[in-house]
Amino acid sequence: MDALTAVVIVISSFIIYASLETAGNYSSLLRVVDVSVDRAQEILDTPQMDISGEVISPETKDITAQDITFSYEKRNVIDGISLHIPEKTTTAIVGPSGGGKTTLVNLLARFWDVSRGTVSLGGRNVKAYDMDSLMSNYSFVFQSVYLFHDTIANNIRFGQPDAPMEDVIAAAKKACCHEFISALPDGYDTVVGEGGASLSGGERQRISIARAMMKDAPVIFLDEATANVDPENENELMKAIQALTAEKTVIMIAHRLKTVEHADQILVVDHGRIVQQGTHASLMEQDGIYKDFIGQRREAASWKVKQ
């Protein structure tokens, strides 16, 4: 080997191994890349609910559950419930804590799929619906309201981003929140904090009702919507709920006597089963959980602070 060749070997090795050195320095991070890809893919590989269905516009908005059962962690949370909720009626679901009320509502709304039995909307199994098509029939007002870090107007028009301001204001008026919104320095352009932290519970709840009104869905689920309301807001909130639920199929989980006693039917759920069913008047004639429930509330309402 001549001198030139030897020198070229030495010099070219620096050039070649420079890029190899860089590759070597970073190649240890390939394992982090590997795990990162696996983590992201894990979520994408999690089986979804069966959302393959048709876009259906049901002719009627009645809801039926036929012998539904739901298990969670090897425990039957809902055990063989059958019910029928005619359209444009109000059904109140009451019962002891942990009895399965919220789970039942979640199953009727198809947040979870039943383990056995069927849930139908308008005579069609909810699984036959395309998921978005099914959800377009439902509006929800939850006990715990979440408002997004955005303006009040955008929170109200959340489900319909292109809705004009007039519609937003009309919904807010029906939901009895127009006055307090207008009183804010920026009005409808007021940016609420993450989760709506800058508003009171009652105010958040009424905005949530306005949001549900904007959607104008035929079926309304109320999950303890009035649970966290203070007396000052209660009147306004009840008016808002009445406006929301007029001529709709309503399913509500409620604890307040005022809300429950006017329902078209009351379902008493305990240990995953319907133990009593009927109107307020008919249930008050039977001994059971409902009569005790009403008795306790009346007793609590009559409590006064001794002076």
Contact positions toward other proteins, by CB under 8 A? 1, 3-5, 7-9, 11-13, 15-17, 19-24, 26-37, 39-44, 46, 48-49, 51, 72, 106, 111-113, 131
- Which residues, 6 or more positions from 109, have their beta carbon under 8 angstroms from its beta carbon? 138, 140, 221
Listed in sequence order, the residues at least 6 apart from 98 whose beta carbon sits closer than 8 Å to its beta carbon are: none
- Residue 40 or 246: the one with the smaller Cβ distance to other proteins is 40
Which residue do the tokens 């008050």 mark? Answer: 284
- Cα–Cα distances in angstroms (integers) from residue 25 to residues 17, 19, 29, 35, in the given order: 12, 10, 8, 18
Shorter beta-carbon distance to other proteins: residue 75 or 306: 75
> Smaller CB distance to other proteins: residue 101 or 206?
101
Find the shortest distance in angstroms from Cβ 209 to other proteins.
Answer: 22
- Between 29 and 301, CB nearer to other proteins: 29
Could you count the other beta carbons within 10 Å of the beta carbon of residue 156? 29
Handedness of CA 74, 68, 139, 101 (dihedral sign): negative
Q: Which is nearer to other proteins, 117 or 187 (CB)?
A: 117
**Least distance CB 20 / other proteins (angstroms):** 5
Q: How far is the CB of 69 from other proteins (least distance, A)?
A: 15
Residue 17 Cβ vs other proteins, minimum distance, rounded to whole Å: 7
For the bound state, the minimum distance from the C-beta of residue 61 to other proteins, rounded and expressed in Å, comes to 23
* Contact between 225 and 241 (Cβ < 8 Å): yes
- Nearer Cβ to other proteins, position 126 or 181? 126
Cβ-based nearer residue to other proteins, 23 or 165: 23
- Shortest CA distance to 176 belongs to which of 108, 257, 244, 263? 244
Phi, psi angle pair for 83, to nearest 5°: -155, 160
Residue keyed to tokens 């105010």:
203
Closest approach, Cβ 140 to other proteins, in A, equals: 12
150 closest CA partner among 211, 193, 120, 88: 193
Are residues 116 and 110 in contact, defined by beta-carbon separation less than 8 angstroms?
no
Residue 19 CB, shortest distance to other proteins, in Å, is 4
